[in-house]
């Protein structure tokens, strides 16, 4: 037989029927636009997802459960759906699962259907209702952990059944296809024979990492890390129930090398030994946290089979032993956006976790929009929402994400250290004694102080509050200048004595330890402090202004602003609006999102599908470099003033 | 649109056209039968291969070169062939490579065409002629090493080109799709910036394992190991030219734990610490051999990117730290037949090779047909030949493979220690002073002695020679008994004084150190020694007899017998025929194959396609357990006698 018109016809038929995916549908370069519509019946849910994601993932992301025991690897053949509109290529797994008639009727395995065009599909009723857990910013996550266990009772080998131990075990794993890990192959002969061939297989992703005597299926744990520049948080998760078992946090032990990423990068540039030292300090921080949560939770090291970690690009590089210098100097280049499958030992966790525990490190969108932000985007469901939203992680480096419900854009704005208390005369971190809330009445000042002690300084949220309140009562004008003393005296009899001068500079006294204390002994806000805050908030508002322009959206159209990070969570929405740090919206639209990086790490452990969603963000989100834009400085100057 | 007749029609059309592979063609359970025929034009070669192998591999295995730079990973899109008879599914890589017209004309990428049915195809003329090397038993291997290097000169990053270092590098690797290894990601930022972004990427399989400053493409090395129970051989290969650079061998340092696999397995059963010790001894043997060949070849440790190793199942288990006990006791079970991708460090090579060097360990067909035999099958091309062939690796455990040119069957026969000199009165290993050749004339004995010194004992090949010669001259009868003294005196005047008695037992003196030496001071062959040899050769001949029966082939139809292993290579074909160790054929059909395990390991390093061929043997070869067969003992007794 020669290749003839028959072949030609069939190729064209295939294309027409969508059974060969068209050229452009493969590994499409997602620019965030051109989402496809999936209509799920009988749930009656329409969801829009980036082209190329699996129908199974799209359903999971939207809380629509489809039967599955393998978690979406194409091996259990349970995730049956029927396409009622649109087609999808028939895979070999489909051929093995469905009859010809069923295939022709549109039946497919959901985990193998790529949403490359609009589809309508029917999901059969669930055979088993999967567990779910609420994580992140109110996200309902269907539990599909990457760590799976299967208890099996195997036939003992004989001369007429000489299958290898590995074949014997995998032959009994009817819904999982696995690859062996040397560690498991080492343990197999011994464990099988010590436990009468009744064992539990431990599978992470598709790797058989261990085999345990007896039935240990109820014991599956993982640790989620939020690796912050300042604080590191570890959460021990029970993967069987989806609940946190124990949480611990400590200061990042790299602190002695500097309080922010730039000083730590500088340390590595000055001393060749610093990188190794910083790596070891990060590792020991993580290791000790794992030991702490495991001790608290009554969990053995060998029961922690996976960890996930969200950190900014510099923290991630230092942890992995990668020279961070290119991150710190223009043009700000990462070694890699994404990471291969790592082991706990690659993160220095050594014997604190299972020897073959896997480590998932969140990928980054850029040198200054790191894995912590990708984790935060996952936790906040930024890509699963039709609303116009802003996500702002306020800090020395401020990461901003904007979406119009279709496209997602992100950038980083150099806000400087003001929010961390840096470059502020009485600035301090959010620790005991820090003023975190400031309220002004016509004649008095009410302060909220961390630890309810005498105030010793002012932290970021107090700074924003103070400036916002001073602007509200008119002691600061729209340009950020303290009004003249005479004018203040005329209008603010009760506050005017707090407005005074220290040398050349005017200051506002927030707290006077004793009636006759000198201004320098007080907690105060100086004119220069106000300027620092203006610079910081202008950087941020320039960021979101340009991102919203990129999307063609007006600031007033924003339906929600998520304030992320430890600082963002404490910020007063009203004050943030007043100083112009966020768009002028109803305060109800400004939401504290909490520690979203840690929540994202938890989600990645609870659901391999959610993890796939985080990975999809890498192609879905467009990174916008602000320092490259000719209009940046103009906007910045415009936005220094407070909004009217 | 609803799934309708259109869909149904297209599914059926797909099947008809072969564009959806039929059910049974997927992951076919190869039983060695049902090979498919591939006809290559213009070479005019017809080859038969097991179903499921790629056309690219099938061509490579048969010395037919098809253009490719990626080596068969589906990424370079150069291995274009045109199907002139038969069809193959269109893959997405095909869609990206060919026009619609070309696809309809049968053009496909050869590495993605699975030979699931008979095909005829045309291979375009080569653009570049690939290098080839002669390895194994006269095998011509097209060089397609798993280790690839690419020199690239990259644009430096800028604010308008903020691609990560990894994206920048991989963007320049136009014919390879790679995955990152953490080691490479650690090195990237530093190496790129230290070498003006002119670097060489080191890719093993699909893993980017390193990046080196400047152009190092000419330096690619690997080490092939033959890990024998007695002797370990290492060959340093230049992967660029396919030539061996240096060879070294040493005794396996596990020797103090016993001379054969059973004693070493016993050692681990008696002492829990022995496994660790044996593992370390094997590792140190390999490590020191690598250091030796690298020193001799002028090659740095970091330039050895891959190793391959063939060893029997016990040696492999001990090297990998796997309890060998189940290998040593019925029903003889391995932990696993096959191994995941390992690192040099998993073999204890540590700093003797590149830190991320990959290690390929040959898979095994059974506890007693190990990776050394699979390597030997590869080296001898046992599956690439239409002839009826036997492959016999003679040793304490004797591995036998038989093929009729279509099916391949294998077994192990417990020959006992006779061939290693064990259980033989004057037996010794093939070392200095060992009688290795024996010739009898009517009245004298001529001995070949290793090292041309006075004989001190007799090794395996000498034993076979001696028995064969004594049978030939009639001093041993067909049942293996020395003929009566009077009868000998009547017929063999020159030899009769050598036939004497030691206590109860009759012996034949091979060498008398002095005219008046006592028999016990001589090198002799005893009646019991003859019996030992008879048991050994009967075990072997029972093995191949049953295998040939399995194939339905008569012994006289065998066209070639390959004698493998260090002992087999020294065996006299005439003597082997005489004692019945091999079928009665022309001596020209009995071929010494040499160190085929080591040759197979070299082939696996020189060609990823050949390695795929070794893996294919796992499913292609049927293992036959002899100890389970009711007819084994009958045959064994029948075959104790010498052939007439």
pLDDT reported for residue A557: 97
Query: pLDDT tens digits, residue range B324-369?
Result: 999 999 999 999 999 999 999 999 999 999 999 999 999 999 999 9
* DSSP classification of residue B126: P
Q: A198: which residues sit within 8 A by CB, 6+ positions away?
A: A151, A152, A153, A154, A213, A214, A215
Per-residue pLDDT averaged across A1-30, rounded? 42
Q: Which residue ranges does chain B devote to CATH 3.30.420.480?
A: 221-361
Report the pLDDT value the prediction gives residue B595, as an integer from 0 to 100: 86
Partner residue facing B162 (CB), from A82, A86, A625:
A625
The per-residue pLDDT for range B365-386, each reduced to its tens digit, is 999 999 999 999 999 999 888 8
Query: Which residues, at least 6 apart from A248, have a Cβ–Cβ distance to it below 8 Å?
Result: A233, A234, A289, A292, A293, A296
Give the pLDDT band (50/70/90) at residue B576: very high
- What pLDDT, on the 0 to 100 scale, is given for residue B315? 97
- Tell if the CB–CB gap between A339 and B159 is shorter than 8 Å: no
Tens of pLDDT, residue by residue over A444-468, are 999 999 999 999 999 999 999 999 9
**pLDDT tens digit sequence for A517-544:** 988 899 999 999 999 999 999 999 999 9
Which SS3 state, helix, strand or coil, does residue B506 take? strand
pLDDT at A18 over 50: no
Among the listed residues A82, A30, A136, the one whose alpha carbon sits nearest the alpha carbon of residue A607:
A136
b/e per residue B88-121 (b: at least 16 CB within 10 A): bbbbbbbbebbeeeebbbbbbbbbbbbbbbebbb
State the smallest CA–CA distance between residue B589 and chain A in angstroms: 34
Per residue in B585-604, is it b (16+ CB within 10 Å) or e — as a string? beeebbbebbbbbbbbbbbb
pLDDT of residue A397: 87
- How does residue A489 score in pLDDT terms, banded at 50, 70 and 90? confident
Tell me, what's the pLDDT at B332? 93
Architecture of domain A221-361: 2-Layer Sandwich (3.30)
- Give the nearest partner residue to A103 out of B11, B167, B189, using CB atoms: B11
Question: Hey, are the CB atoms on A20 and B337 less than 8 Å from each other?
Answer: no
Query: How high is the pLDDT of residue B19?
Result: 45
* All residues at 6 or more sequence positions from A614 whose CB lies less than 8 Å from its CB, including other chains: A362, A363, A374, A375, A377, A378, A600, A604
Asked if the model's pLDDT at residue A29 lies above 50, the reply is no
Q: Which CATH architecture has domain A382-417+533-638?
A: 2-Layer Sandwich (3.30)
Q: Which residue has the higher pLDDT, A406 or B299?
A: B299
Range from A128-132, A575-579, B422-426, B471-475 carrying the lowest mean pLDDT: A128-132
pLDDT surpassing 50 at residue A26 = no
Asked if pLDDT for residue B226 goes beyond 50, the answer is: yes
Mean pLDDT of B151-172: 96
CATH 3.10.20.30 applies to domain B5-130: yes
Chain-chain contact of A1 with B367 (C-beta, under 8 angstroms): no
CB A508 within 8 A of CB A499: yes
**Mutation to test the B interface, candidates A164, A180, A411, most B Cβ within 10 Å:** A164
Asked whether the CA dihedral A165, A171, A174, A179 is positive or negative, the reply is positive
- The answer, for B6 touching chain A at a CB cutoff of 8 Å, is yes
pLDDT value at A604 more than 70: yes
Of all residues in chain A, the percent with pLDDT exceeding 70 is 95
How many beta-carbon pairs below 8 A join chains A and B?
222
pLDDT at A28: 37
Task: Indicate whether B23 pLDDT > 90.
Answer: no
pLDDT at A14: 45
Cis before A42 (ω within 30): yes
Query: Considering Cα of B429, then B434, then B436, then B439, what sign does the dihedral take?
Result: negative
Query: For the residues A345-370, what does the mean pLDDT come to?
Result: 97
Distance CA B429, CA B159 (A): 71
A630 touches chain B (CB under 8 A): no
Tell me the whole-structure pTM to 2 decimals.
Answer: 0.90
Instruction: Locate A598 and state its tokens.
Output: 């840690």
Residues of chain A in contact with residue B100, where contact means CB-CB under 8 angstroms, are 8, 11-12
pLDDT given at position B249: 95
Beta bridge partners of B81: B108
- C-alpha dihedral (A63, A66, A71, A72), degrees to nearest 10: -100
Q: What pLDDT is attached to residue B490?
A: 86
Question: Which one of 1.10.3720.10, 3.30.70.141, 3.40.50.300, 3.10.20.880 gives the CATH number of domain A147-213?
Answer: 3.10.20.880
Residue A443 backbone dihedrals phi, psi, to 5 degrees? -130, 10
Q: What is the fold, at CATH topology level, of the domain defined by B381-417+533-638?
A: Nucleotidyltransferase; domain 5 (3.30.420)
How many Å separate Cα B10 from the centre of its chain?
46
Q: Distance between CA atoms of B178 and B164, rounded to whole angstroms?
A: 15
CA dist B431 and B422 (Å) reads 14
Going by C-alpha positions, the residue among B48, B209, B71 that lies closest to residue B612 is: B71
Mean pLDDT for the stretch of residues A571-595:
93
Band of pLDDT at residue B17, cut at 50, 70 and 90: very low
A65 touches chain B (CB under 8 A): no
Closest C-alpha to A293, from A236, A334, A332, A252:
A236
Q: How far is B165 from chain A (nearest CA, A)?
A: 5
Distance from CA of B95 to the nearest CA of A (A): 7
For A435, list phi and psi in degrees, rounded to 5: -70, 120
CA distance B599 to B17: 42
Domain with CATH 3.10.20.30 in chain B: 5-130
ipTM: 0.90
Distance CA(B514)–CA(B291), nearest Å, equals 46
Q: What is the mean pLDDT of residues A369-394?
A: 94
CB of B26 within 8 Å of any CB in chain A?
yes
Q: What is the pLDDT of residues B309-318, one digit of tens each?
A: 999 999 999 9
What's the average model confidence in pLDDT over A249-253?
95
Binary contact (A158, B331; C-beta < 8 A): yes
The pLDDT of residue A384? 87
First to last CA, chain B: 80
The stretch A373-387 carries a mean pLDDT of 93
pLDDT range class, residue B22, cuts 50, 70, 90: very low
Instruction: Kindly indicate the confidence band of residue B641, based on its pLDDT and cuts at 50, 70 and 90.
Output: very high
Taking residues A427-436, what's their average pLDDT? 91
Q: Record the tokens describing residue B347, joined without a space.
A: 């073999």
Q: Is A331 on the interface with B (CB under 8 A)?
A: yes
Place B55 in a pLDDT band, splitting at 50, 70 and 90.
Answer: very high
Phi then psi for residue B249, to 5 deg, are -140, 155
Give per-residue pLDDT as tens, A168-201: 999 999 899 999 999 999 999 999 999 999 999 9
Task: Give contacts of B18 with chain A, Cβ < 8 Å.
Answer: none
The distance of B543 to chain A (nearest Cα, Å) reads 17
User: Is B534 within 8 Å of B423 (Cβ atoms)?
Assistant: no
Residue with the bigger pLDDT between B62 and B211: it is B211
Portion 335-364 of B in contact with A at CB < 8 A: 335-340, 342, 346
Mind spelling out the 3-state secondary structure of A385-449?
A: CCCCEEEEECCCEEEEEEECCCCEEEEEEECCHHHHCCCCCCECCCCCCEEEEEEECCCCEEEEE
Tell whether omega for the bond before B42 is within 30 degrees of 0, i.e. cis.
Answer: yes
């Amino acid at each position: 037989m020669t290749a003839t018109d028959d072949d030609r016809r069939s190729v064209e038929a295939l294309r027409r029927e969508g059974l060969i995916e068209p050229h452009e549908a493969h590994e499409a370069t997602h620019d965030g636009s051109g989402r496809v519509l999936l209509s799920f019946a009988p749930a009656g849910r329409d969801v829009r997802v980036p082209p190329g994601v699996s129908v199974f993932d799209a359903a999971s992301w939207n809380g629509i459960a489809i039967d599955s025991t393998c978690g979406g690897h194409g091996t259990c053949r349970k995730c049956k759906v029927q396409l009622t509109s649109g087609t999808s290529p028939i895979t070999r797994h489909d051929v093995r699962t469905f009859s010809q008639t069923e295939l022709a009727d549109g039946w497919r395995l959901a985990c193998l259907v790529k949403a490359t065009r609009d589809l309508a599909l029917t999901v059969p009723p669930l055979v088993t209702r999967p567990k779910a857990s609420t994580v992140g910013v109110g996200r309902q996550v269907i539990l599909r952990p990457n760590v799976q266990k299967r208890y099996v009772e195997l036939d003992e080998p004989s001369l007429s059944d000489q299958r290898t131990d590995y074949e014997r075990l995998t032959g009994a794993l009817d819904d999982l296809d696995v690859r062996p890990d040397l560690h498991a192959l080492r343990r197999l002969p011994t464990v099988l024979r010590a436990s009468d061939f009744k064992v539990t297989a431990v599978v992470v992703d598709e790797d058989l990492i261990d085999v345990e005597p007896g039935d240990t299926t109820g014991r599956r744990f993982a640790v989620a890390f939020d690796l912050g520049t300042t604080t590191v948080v570890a959460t021990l998760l029970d993967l069987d129930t989806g609940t946190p078992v124990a949480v611990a946090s400590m200061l990042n032990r790299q602190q002695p090398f500097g309080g922010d990423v730039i000083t730590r990068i500088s340390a590595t540039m000055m001393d060749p030994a610093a990188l190794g030292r910083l790596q070891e300090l990060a590792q020991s921080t993580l290791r000790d946290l794992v030991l702490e949560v495991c001790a608290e939770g009554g969990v053995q090291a060998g029961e922690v089979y996976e960890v996930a970690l969200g950190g900014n690009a510099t923290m991630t590089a230092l942890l992995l032993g990668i020279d961070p210098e290119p991150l710190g100097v223009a043009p700000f280049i990462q070694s890699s956006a994404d990471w291969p499958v790592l082991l706990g030992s690659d993160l220095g966790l050594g014997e604190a976790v299972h020897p073959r525990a896997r480590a998932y490190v969140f990928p980054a969108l850029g040198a200054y929009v790191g894995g912590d932000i990708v984790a935060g985007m996952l936790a906040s469901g930024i890509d699963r929402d039709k609303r116009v939203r802003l996500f702002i992680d306020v800090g020395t480096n401020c990461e901003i994400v904007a979406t119009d419900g279709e496209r997602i854009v992100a950038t980083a704005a150099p806000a400087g250290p003001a929010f961390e208390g840096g470059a502020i005369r009485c600035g301090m971190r959010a620790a005991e004694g820090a003023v975190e809330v400031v309220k002004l009445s016509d004649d008095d000042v009410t302060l909220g102080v961390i630890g309810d002690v005498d105030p010793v300084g002012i932290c970021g949220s107090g700074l924003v509050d103070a400036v916002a309140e001073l602007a509200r009562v008119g002691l600061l004008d729209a340009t950020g200048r303290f009004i003249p003393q005479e004018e203040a005296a005329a209008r603010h009899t009760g506050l005017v004595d707090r407005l005074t001068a220290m040398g050349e500079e005017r200051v506002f006294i927030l707290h006077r330890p004793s009636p006759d204390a000198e201004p320098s002994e007080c907690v105060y806000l100086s004119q220069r402090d106000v300027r620092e805050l203006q610079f910081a908030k202008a950087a941020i508002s320039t960021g979101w202004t340009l991102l919203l322009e990129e999307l063609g959206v007006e600031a007033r159209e924003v339906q929600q602003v998520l304030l992320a990070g430890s600082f963002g969570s404490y910020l007063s929405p009203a004050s943030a609006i007043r100083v112009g740090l966020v768009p002028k919206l109803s305060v109800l639209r400004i939401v504290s999102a909490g520690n979203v990086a840690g929540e994202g790490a938890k989600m990645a452990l609870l659901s391999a599908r959610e993890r796939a969603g985080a990975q999809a963000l890498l192609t879905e989100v467009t990174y916008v470099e602000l320092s490259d834009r000719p209009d940046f400085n103009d906007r910045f100057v415009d936005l220094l003033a407070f909004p009217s």
